[in-house]
Chains A and B, each alone.
Chain A
């Protein structure tokens, strides 16, 4: 029996599901290896028990909590697909204001009936068996994770930082341009993609398990950068304060 797989989305941009659909060369093989029983973005089928659920997006309302719990209840394994589901990602940027302030800023005060809670990651509400990090996810990494799951093994994410991948590619260090880079803190697995493309690491994959702060402070000092410079950068993708609350 082919494993039954579902893709679901909550509050987010659906860019991670799109990254799966962008695997044009592999898509036909994937359809052979698993049965995609739900994928609302591209299909109107729904409803049965699942072996693997990939869930994209953050959770922002009681309706979303109920829908997530229902998906969990009928899925053998549930994986967070991308940063919004995994750590709240970019959605956490609004958590420095109360929901009343946010509604007032965007809609004016005319809207009394809008009920809204700050976005939170999946694991604040349900058990999450594993995750595909990144904003967006890396298509290759998704395939590797899926491959493990299809042979019934738990996939493992790298335990080292993007900095290591960057060094292996012999890319010039971003700090040498006087630009803050989160490569030393961020979990590897993307092949230092953004640095290779001329940008810096913005930390979208979340932090490595035990970031080494000592050497990082030394790098900052050497390049005349402050702790505030780093925090500014970290706040874009790593504001997951409400994770287990």
Chain B
């Protein structure tokens, strides 16, 4: 039996799935990345530090805020710039806004159709009006956070090296806080919806890799940890992640201690369960996801736990900002050239940018490692374990379960800064 799914639907970017089996044994399985490479690292070379983040944002429309923020942090590390507490809190709020936006899009628009047996959310507009209502209400709220803090949801305008070009008005933040509190019933309804889903029964232990929060569930951070014992500074990421080429495939894969590892919502949740907000901890119990969960289909549940955590944190971050009062700040100036690396927990997991700047303030060398590149080997390893269990269930069911598994990771192939791709022409 040969199965080839061209241009997998409901993921960001272009990938094909190829499965080849004979007489009940799996002969070949590949996740082909057919997105054209975009050479961002080469494009950033020679660019002045003031234009680096707006270019880096364009790596990905879905996580443009994460790319912007981690790019700014790497530049600031390299140039010796310290940001204020106000900037730090605003950046956290913006990052939470994007995680909410991306998670809600994935959960309701990309994943739910699999569990309701439809091809997209569009048929649900009629049959499940309440569900679609909750989804749109929450998604709009997430976008409002990005709009008020970052200027627009896709490719933010206000974040800049050293701070912000425009601050939100206190009244906007107060309105946002009101809306966040008012959205709690939508969240409760969402938890009910996702607690009722029938997640496939499949488990596979792997290595879980994320930032480790310092007193808070991590977004920005300086310490990397994995369930297999990695514990190092972010600046040393190139020493612990080994990127390698696979002969059969077209994408650069990555490994830590073993052959594959997982980044993203479930890895974060497992490594930082003690830092979840009180409400999120309760929701994790309701959704049956915790520090020992190793069913990749339940990444959906981990994502929803993070949505609840994000809403609660956003409310507190707004309180902090309103209490201190927002004040315009002078943007700090660079101290000098150098190398800097930064990591952020983007919606799909660890995202690294590292730059070396020359004395004229222009980039000499850039490296960007995206979450999906790190997850690819793990998705393939999961599929290899899953497919033999399903070979007797028929082509249609097998394809459906594989696609569902791939989608659970929310792969973002558009982000291909250096996923290696081949033209099969």
Contacts and interface: CB of A to CB of B under 8 A. Distances in A.
Interface of A: 9-19, 21-22, 24-25, 27-28, 31, 36, 39-46, 60-64, 89-91, 93-94, 97, 101-103, 105-107, 110-111, 113-116, 119, 135-136, 193-194, 197-199, 202, 232, 236
A14 B13 contact: yes
B245 interface: yes
Interface residues of B, number: 65
Interface string B213-257: 000000000000000000000000000000001000000100000
16 contacts: A14-B414, A31-B122, A43-B9, A43-B113, A43-B119, A61-B423, A62-B423, A63-B425, A102-B37, A103-B37, A105-B45, A106-B39, A106-B417, A111-B420, A113-B422, A115-B422
A110 B423 contact: no
Contact of B154 (A18, A93, A97): A18
Could you say which of A41, A63, A194 has the most chain B C-beta atoms within 10 Å of its C-beta?
Answer: A41
A24 B139 contact: yes
A96 to B, nearest CB: 9
A13 B60 contact: yes
Contacts of A25: 140
A230 to B, nearest CB: 14
Contact of B105 (A21, A119, A236): A21
Chain B at the A interface: mostly helix, strand, loop or mixed? loop
Contacts of A19: 61, 153-154
Given A15-B62, A106-B42, A61 B157 contact: no
Given A39-B120, A136-B61, A197 B42 contact: no
Given A11-B36, A236-B54, 16 more contacts: A10-B36, A11-B35, A13-B414, A14-B13, A15-B155, A18-B154, A28-B136, A31-B122, A31-B125, A41-B12, A43-B10, A61-B423, A102-B39, A110-B245, A194-B157, A236-B51
A16 B420 CA distance: 24
Interface of B: 7, 9-14, 34-39, 41-43, 45, 48, 51, 54-55, 58-62, 64, 105, 109-110, 113, 119-122, 125, 132, 136-137, 139-140, 143, 151-155, 157-158, 160, 164-166, 245, 252, 414-415, 417-418, 420-425
A119 B36 contact: yes
Given A11-B36, A27-B136, A114-B420, A22 B154 contact: yes
A18 B42 contact: no
A197 B62 contact: no
Given A94-B42, A114-B420, A44 B10 contact: yes
A146 to B, nearest CB: 16
B120 A45 contact: yes
A40 B425 contact: no
A116 B36 contact: yes
Nearest to A64: B36
A19 to B, nearest CB: 5
B10 A199 contact: no
Kindly list the 3 A-B residue pairs having the minimum CB-CB distance in the complex, ordered from nearest. A15-B61, A198-B165, A43-B120
A116 B423 contact: yes
Residue of B9, B36, B120 with most chain A CB atoms under a 10 A cut-off: B36
